[in-house]
Amino acid sequence: MTIFINKNSPPALYLIQRIYTRFSTGFQNNTRFSFMLGPRFLTVSDMDSHVYTFTVVAGGIAIYNSLELFFMLYTSFRRYNSLYFASLLTASFGVLLFAVGFLDLFFEIFIDNSTIVRPLVVLTIGWYGMITGFASVMYSRLHIVRCDPQIITWVWRFMMFNVCFSHFPTTVFTFGANISGTDFWVDGYAIIEKIQMTLFCIQEVTLGLLYLYYIRDTSGCNKKKTLLLQHTVSILLKTWPKVNSPHIVSRKHFCFISRFSDALS
């Protein structure tokens, strides 16, 4: 079965087809590599209106979410010296820099007053914070699900391994491929990009599986009882006669709810 995609097709399908065509052209022409984009990076002249709009909207959403998270972090946390806070701050700051650097690279803003080094530096720093910062967020919460301390140690070692053997080599070949552009740097980037994507994929999948495994292990058969308890207590708190404030329950009522929850569990 053949599916024909044209400008009358749904916008999402047409956008995917246009991006695929651009990247396929780059592979066929064996043109230069760029950071995390494959054989060639898209410039304004390469884009049609759909790709242009998608790039602007996606970058704007990433920047907005990062700024919003900054505000939420400093208004929600009471202590700023925890690994969890630092990891969230690093990850959000990384997304912000990554989006800004890519927009600078895509739309060639750097041409007027700088060189390609500026967007490469910005998005590389953002890439570090976005990838390893997000992994650190998940790592910092592993003890909550009662993960084995030895496994947590090995997760930390694997993250440091990825920093040394995924971040650093990719950074070197990224600048070499975009600044020098010789076959050595271009071919080297093509190889190291696949390696680092594989290693980071293993890292994120491992962290996710650890959470799934230990959450299942800690909740187990009590899941239904826990849900029943949550709904029951919520109903009691909402329907119980109010004392002095809608959010205050007397000591007698609280003791009753506690005994009721113990009976359910």
Q: How far is the first Cα of the chain from the last one, in angstroms, to the nearest whole number?
A: 56
**Tens place of pLDDT per residue across the chain (265 aa):** 333 444 444 444 444 445 445 444 443 444 333 444 443 444 445 556 777 788 888 899 999 999 999 899 988 888 888 999 999 999 999 999 999 998 888 888 877 777 888 999 999 999 999 999 999 999 999 988 888 999 999 999 999 999 999 999 999 999 999 888 889 999 999 999 999 999 999 999 999 999 888 887 555 545 555 555 555 655 555 555 444 444 444 545 555 555 555 554 4
Are 201 and 162 a contacting pair, CB within 8 Å?
no
Are 170 and 123 a contacting pair, CB within 8 Å?
no
SS3 42: coil
Cβ neighbours for 91, distance < 8 A, ≥ 6 positions apart: 129, 130, 133, 134, 136, 137
Q: For 185, what's the count of Cα atoms within 13 Å in the CB-facing half-sphere?
A: 17
Sequence letter at residue 9 = S
Rounded to whole angstroms, how far apart are CA atoms 233 and 237? 6
**Which residue intervals of 141-250 are DSSP H helices?**
149-162, 168-175, 183-219, 223-239
Count of other CB atoms within 10 angstroms of residue 1: 2
Only one residue has tokens 């390893």, namely 132
* Element of type H or E holding 140: helix 117-140
Are 168 and 132 a contacting pair, CB within 8 Å?
no
